[in-house]
Amino acid sequence: MNFSGLDISTLILTNASLAFLFALIFGVYRKFSKTYYGFNHWFAGAILTALSLTISLSSSFIPIWAIVFLFHTIFMLAMIARLDGTIRFITGTKLHFAFYSIPLFLGLAVEYNYLYENSQSMRYLMHAITLVGITSATAWYLFRYAEESEKTLYYIAGVFMILRGVFKLFRALHWHFNPDLPLFNAETLHGVTMLAEILSEVAIALIFIMINGKRTEKHLKIEEEKAYASFQRAEQLANYDHLTGLPSLRLTRERLNHAIKQAFRNNSKVAIMFMDLNSFKPVNDQFGHGIGDLVLIEIGQRLSKSLRESDTIGRIGGDEFIFIFENTNDLNQIQNIGSKILDNVCKPMMFDDINVCVGASIGVAFYPDNGLNETDLLKAADQAMYSAKNSETAEIVFSEGFISSKQS
């Protein structure tokens, strides 16, 4: 490879232009990627890299002593910023602020060398050794904290980081000690090193953008899962009673409407039971709402076990429950089911040393005999339940009238 006609300034300018381009890219990511740390520092690092390289080409209007100090200090500050960004990107932690003093010490050291020894090769060697330290630290974090799903990309980025420092150090050693390397002259090695820096700049930026893309996709998936879980919780709260786990009034109404539509198509009947507990208020007054809640939970469990899978039981609030029985034409069957429900409700309940007994009153309505929609049927069953509650003998009362919301 022959770089005898290569303009090194062109390579430096190309590297600076790429740094500005990646600063723009990282700036965009900094604006839209709000989940992950590090892009602010990679943005700053790219800006500082471009600035330092631009300063190195400004000898016509900036004094050499200023260029020596500014170039080495700003360039190494850019690398420290990138190291900090890498640590934040990978681990969520940050680099200790003391590390930001390294570029200043390097700048002062090379400035001293320029003023008192003026060995350009020694200045470059100090620069290269510092760069190797920073890039090696960055690579160590990439290797150490690589996530399993992104390990390959992390390792590639780490290798490019190391190669960047190694190329720089190799060139610095060649320049300072001037070994006899027939395959490379100083100008060729300078060109190869600059090209390696450009390629590593491109590769590292693209790799981190790819990693962030994968992370963003993973983050969006997690957010979607959280949103779906939140939606399910909201549905659960809306459709099911938080205490007993039974269907709420909303879900019970939906199921009743569905049952009415099925009965209309099949020319069958639907039975609705409206049940209200008796003597429940004294339980709350005497033993407290905690025991009252336990009573409701126990009754809900007993009733759920005593019904068929096709039947529906819902708690609509307080001590009121609704039952839906589809495809039923037998009045005696509903009477037997109601009696079984009452037997389960009236069994004594023991909570620690507290013995609790409650009763219940049930009102029954049929579709289409007592109403044609869920509102009228519930109203008919509710009225029948109050008739049972006011009766001295009957615990189950069947609705006898037809309720129409259009006529009322």
- Quick one: pLDDT at residue 7? 58
SS3 at position 324: strand
Q: Are 364 and 322 in a shared domain?
A: yes
Query: Is residue 238 assigned to a domain?
Result: no
Q: Are 144 and 293 in a shared domain?
A: no
DSSP 376-389: HHHHHHHHHHHHHH
Query: Is residue 206 assigned to a domain?
Result: yes
**Confidence bin at 29 (pLDDT 50/70/90):** low
**Proportion of the chain above pLDDT 70, given as a percent:** 86
SS3 at position 210: helix
- pLDDT at residue 51 above 70? yes
Q: Are 196 and 253 in a shared domain?
A: no
Cis bond before residue 179 (omega within 30° of 0): no
Cis bond before residue 282 (omega within 30° of 0): no
**Confidence bin at 274 (pLDDT 50/70/90):** very high
Contact status, residue 360 vs residue 345, Cβ threshold 8 Å: yes
Q: Residue 207 belongs to what domain range?
A: 8-228
- pLDDT at residue 36 above 60? no
Q: Are 213 and 129 in a shared domain?
A: yes
Query: Is residue 329 assigned to a domain?
Result: yes
Q: What is the DSSP letter of 247?
A: B
The span from the CA of 300 to the CA of 63, in Å, is 88
The span from the CA of 234 to the CA of 231, in Å, is 5
In this predicted model, which residue has the larger pLDDT, 349 or 35?
349
Query: Is residue 239 assigned to a domain?
Result: no
Q: Are 43 and 180 in a shared domain?
A: yes
- Computed over every residue of the chain, the mean pLDDT equals 81
Tokens standing for residue 1: 């490879």
Number of folded domains that form the chain: 2
Question: Which residue, among 364, 356, 341, 212, has the nearest Cα to 274 in the 3D structure?
Answer: 364
Digit-coded pLDDT (tens) for 176-232: 776 555 545 656 666 666 666 667 767 777 777 777 777 777 777 888 888 888 887
Mean pLDDT, residues 7-14 taken together: 66
Query: Is residue 111 assigned to a domain?
Result: yes
Q: How far apart are the first and last CA of the chain?
A: 99
- Quick one: pLDDT at residue 304? 85
- Quick one: pLDDT at residue 190? 64
SS3 at position 347: coil
Query: Is residue 32 assigned to a domain?
Result: yes
The span from the CA of 368 to the CA of 215, in Å, is 58
Question: Which residue, among 319, 398, 301, has the nearest Cα to 360 in the 3D structure?
Answer: 319
Last residue of a domain, one of 194, 228, 262: 228
Tokens standing for residue 371: 């109403």
Question: Which residue, among 381, 367, 377, has the nearest Cα to 338 in the 3D structure?
Answer: 381
Q: Are 168 and 102 in a shared domain?
A: yes
Residue 233, class by beta-carbon neighbours within 10 Å (0-12 exposed, 13-18 middle, 19+ buried)?
exposed
Q: Are 67 and 187 in a shared domain?
A: yes
